[in-house]
A = this chain, B = another copy of it.
Amino acid sequence: MSVSLDQLQAFVVAAETGSFSAAARRLRKAQSAVSTQISNLEEDLGLALFSRAGRSPSLTPAGERLLLEARVILDRREHLIGVARSFEAHVEQRLVVAIDEIYPEQAMAEVFAEFARHFPHVELELLFPMMEDVSRLVLTGQADIGVMWRQEILPTELGFQTLGWVPIKMVCGKQHPLANVRVDWEDLKRHRQILVAARNDGPEKQRLRVAPEVWWVESHWVILQLVRQGIGWAFVSSHVIKASPVAADLAIPELQFDDFDLPVAVELVWHKQRPCGPAAKWLRERFAAIRI
């Protein structure tokens, strides 16, 4: 059988250390063993991986290209061993998390980066259900965990925990009539408001509605594009505004009223009756530990 994992490992370590001798030391093998393995690999593949022109071998173009492939294979082999290890530890094999767009992306990215380090062999699916209710996904079992903004009433089957509050800003285009004034409630009512569309009706759809004339758009990104064009104004969480490519073309005028409850609560939800594995448990605790 040609091309063994040992050969690939000798090849990769030699490339990384810069010499067969150093690779042999790293692998705790005789230098000749490494030399022979690499020579055999080159014979099996039918090309040179290293040029031996000088004292130190250097990778050929083919060697550089195949190094990437070899690394992938060795990584996958480690991954397979890791998957086997996770069976021993009874860690979930797969986790589905539904997250509303309102959760700050940076904090989320940090959570999942750490999750990846802790549970490298758990298959993760992240849903961003713009057009679906996060709590319903968790209720029906389509998601294991949900992160969403507060609804008036959650089904009693769901457990929840408040993670924090996300500030919402009123935003419009720089040429919009409201761009350079201190905006009051009547001002907001007089101009078209652009709201996030949800495909299922519910109280959350009307939650931030102020104006009688509204547009519904299915993406915050497109909302900001439209707002930039002066078509209307919108309430958008500040992290979404920051992340938008058109942020520089937007105005965030000052509001005259202070009693409007602009920050909205962000909740973590899960199904009380479904058992929680170590990965889901870790994730819940990690979300809860981060103040947003």
- Residues of A in contact with B (beta carbons under 8 Å apart): 1-6, 8-9, 45-47, 61-62, 65-66, 69-70, 72-73, 76-77, 79-81, 83-85, 87-88, 93, 215, 222, 225, 229
Contact = CB atoms under 8 A, between A and B. Distances in A.
Given A66-B80, A72-B76, A73-B77, A3 B5 contact: yes
Nearest to A72: B76
Given A5-B3, A5-B5, A69 B65 contact: no
A69 B73 contact: no
A63 to B, nearest CB: 10
The 3 closest A-B pairs by CB, nearest first: A69-B80, A45-B84, A62-B87
B3 A77 contact: yes
A102 to B, nearest CB: 22
A119 to B, nearest CB: 14
B76 A73 contact: yes
A90 to B, nearest CB: 11
B84 A80 contact: no
Contact of A88 (B4, B47, B65): B47
A66 B84 contact: yes
Contact of A65 (B2, B4, B87): B87
A4 B4 contact: yes
Contact of A80 (B9, B70, B77): B70
Q: Which of A61, A62, A70, A77 has most chain B Cβ within 10 Å?
A: A77
A5 B2 CA distance: 9
A9 B3 contact: no
Given A65-B87, A73-B73, 17 more contacts: A1-B6, A45-B80, A45-B81, A46-B84, A47-B84, A47-B88, A65-B83, A66-B83, A66-B84, A69-B76, A69-B79, A69-B80, A69-B83, A73-B77, A76-B76, A222-B222, A222-B225
Nearest to A27: B1
A154 to B, nearest CB: 31
A215 B226 CA distance: 12
B73 A3 contact: no
Contacts of A45: 80-81, 84
